[in-house]
A = this chain, B = another copy of it.
Amino acid sequence: MTLAQPEARPYHHGDLSRALVEAARRILETDGPAALSLRAVAREAGVSPAAPYHHFKDKGQLLDAVAHEGWVALDAALMKARQESDDDRRRMTSLGVAYVTFARDNPALYRVMYDCSRDKDALPDQMKEEGAYCQVRNTIAHAAGDGVSEIDLELATIAAWCAGHGLAEMSGFKQFESLKALLGGEEAFLKAVFDHLGMFAKFDRG
């Protein structure tokens, strides 16, 4: 009865690169960023502690790969939020809520994404089409119309991104729980905060 042994492990080991990244994400989700050691990833993937070094130069490069998957997922989440757009009048706020929601739903992954960015003093390739940053800029450009300068567009995008990132990191703090309850939940809280950032309201319209 050897038929259909699950995932008949290929000879050498299949493509370990992918397996390692998936193992890393599994560990991130279940045990958090503190438990994400190279050795733990190797264990989770069922290989020896030194095996990853044939696919990634060091731990940082593995994290870079994980972070890259995170950015792709975030791009998709924002794209989805834009396309659904059942809330045309509040496009920018919807985008902001989607951004923060992604960060809240994948806190460990989001942390890895930004830690990798900090190590390189730069966001990853966000500027290409469908990159998250570019999506925000395009949304603002569309809402602002033609009369907006390149500089203003860039500044507005940065401002929006900063607000989103700040809220993503801070909305989990206990201090705000009573206020969230008072406003009727997490999403209402997020929308209320964005409302207080005038630029979001400015770019939201019907």
Q: Which residues of A contact B (CB under 8 A)?
A: 114, 117-118, 121-123, 126-127, 151-152, 154-156, 158-159, 161-167, 169-170, 172-176, 179, 182-183, 192-199, 201-202
Contact B158 A162 (CB under 8 A): no
Residues in B neighbouring A193, C-beta threshold 8 A: 155, 158-159, 162
Q: Tell me which of B163, B175, B182 contacts A159 (CB under 8 A).
A: B163
Contact A155 B114 (CB under 8 A): no
Write the chain B residue with the least CB distance to A119: B34
Residues in B neighbouring A156, C-beta threshold 8 A: 196
Q: Closest 3 A-B residue pairs measured CB to CB?
A: A198-B198, A166-B166, A162-B166
Residues in B neighbouring A127, C-beta threshold 8 A: 175
11 A/B residue pairs, CB under 8 Å, sorted by A: A151-B179, A151-B183, A155-B179, A155-B195, A155-B196, A158-B167, A158-B176, A163-B163, A163-B166, A166-B167, A196-B199
Copy number of this protein in the oligomer?
2
Contact A121 B174 (CB under 8 A): yes
Write the chain B residue with the least CB distance to A117: B173
CB distance from A120 to the nearest CB of B (A): 8
**Interface core residue of A174, A179, A182, A197 (most chain B CB under 10 Å):** A197
Cα separation A179 to B133 with both chains bound (whole Å) = 15
